[in-house]
Amino acid sequence: MKCEHLQKTGSFKSRGALNAVQKLKDEGLATGVVTHSSGNHGQGLAWAAAQSGLRCCVAVPRNAPPSKMEAMKGYGAKLELCDATHISRVETCARLANELGFHIVEPFDDPNVICGQGTIGAEIVEQIPDADAVFLAVGGGGMASGVTSYITEVRPDIKVFLVEPEGKGLAGYLASGVLHVEHDVVDTIADGIRVLKVGENCFPILQKACSDKVITVSDDEIRSALKLIWTRTKQRVEPSAAVPLAGLLKVSPSKLGLNKVVLILCGGNVDLDFIP
């Protein structure tokens, strides 16, 4: 298990955020940064901005977990509430960037964010050289495309499996090559991957490498995997982090010819007011 829930800010998001912020600061392009997030990316960006002496503002949907809102503020971010739709998040983020003169750091479709998330793949290859597969949860696709890009370039023998919640429809989109979505979010307990559409920079990477390696899981399967992680490993992860295990449990690793599988536990920012 790749324990990203033990990472700074409690998720892998700090990797991409820090890389993006450092690039902006090195190039003298920003005095502040702004993004839209329901929690983990906002925390990661707020922390990265504080480390670099920049201000941070986050457009947050009103239905975001209160614990994640408090965490973002705790890292120094100013929050602006918006409707829980993708277009509202993007428009609020753009307005804040214009009003404040801040640079937008997209949560998953920024190339520098994608590269930062790809360091997970680099560490997996270094730390577990005999791994033959990686299972990861996919939301907007930043981490998925970053990890996939690195592994397929350096270790093409390692298979990358994408695990999605029911209702996302990624398997069909990747197979057809056409990304067409009619609503904003997926109704799932895995709040970290509720975004329906993967990023435009992420989609071609995933289509090329993973179109035949998508596993869809239900909320019940995610709950079962979450309880298994909590009780057997004693790791307090959030529902999104249990999605890869749910995918692994749904398929037969031996039938796929897999001997050593790496599960990326993407985060541990559990909303204590809602434990499924």
pLDDT tens per residue across span 43-54: 999 999 999 999
pLDDT value of position 183: 62
Confidence of residue 16 (pLDDT cuts 50, 70, 90): very high
pLDDT exceeds cutoff 60 at 276 = no
- Cα 96 to chain centroid distance, Å, stands at 23
pLDDT value of position 275: 61
Domain spanning 113-265, CATH architecture: 3-Layer(aba) Sandwich (3.40)
- For residue 255, indicate whether it is catalytic: no
Residue with tokens 């996939």: 148
Q: How many residues does the chain have?
A: 276
pLDDT value of position 270: 87
- For residue 213, indicate whether it is catalytic: no
Largest CA distance in the chain: 55
Domain boundaries, the chain: 9-108, 113-265
Percent over 90 (pLDDT), the chain: 80
Percent over 70 (pLDDT), the chain: 97
Out of 3.30.420.40, 3.30.530.20, 3.20.20.60, 3.40.50.1100, select the CATH number for domain 9-108. Answer: 3.40.50.1100
Cα distance from N-terminal residue to C-terminal residue, the chain: 22
pLDDT value of position 130: 97
As to burial, measured by CB atoms within 10 angstroms (0-12 exposed, 13-18 middle, 19+ buried), residue 275 is exposed
C-alpha to C-alpha distance for 133 and 260, rounded to whole angstroms: 7
For 52-86, b/e burial (b = at least 16 CB within 10 A) is bebbbbbbbbeebbeebbebbbebebebbebebeb
For 56-98, what is each residue's pLDDT tens digit? Answer: 999 999 988 888 899 999 999 999 999 988 889 999 999 999 9
Q: Which member of 2, 8, 13, 168 is catalytic?
A: 13
Alpha helices, H only, the chain:
13-26, 40-52, 66-74, 86-100, 111-117, 119-127, 142-154, 170-176, 203-210, 219-228, 239-250
pLDDT exceeds cutoff 60 at 108 = yes
pLDDT value of position 153: 97
For 159-214, what is each residue's pLDDT tens digit? Answer: 999 999 999 989 888 988 877 665 677 889 998 898 888 999 999 999 999 999 99
C-alpha to C-alpha distance for 91 and 81, rounded to whole angstroms: 12
pLDDT exceeds cutoff 80 at 272 = no
Mean pLDDT within 223-247: 97
**pTM for this predicted structure:** 0.93
Q: Which member of 14, 37, 38, 240 is catalytic?
A: 38
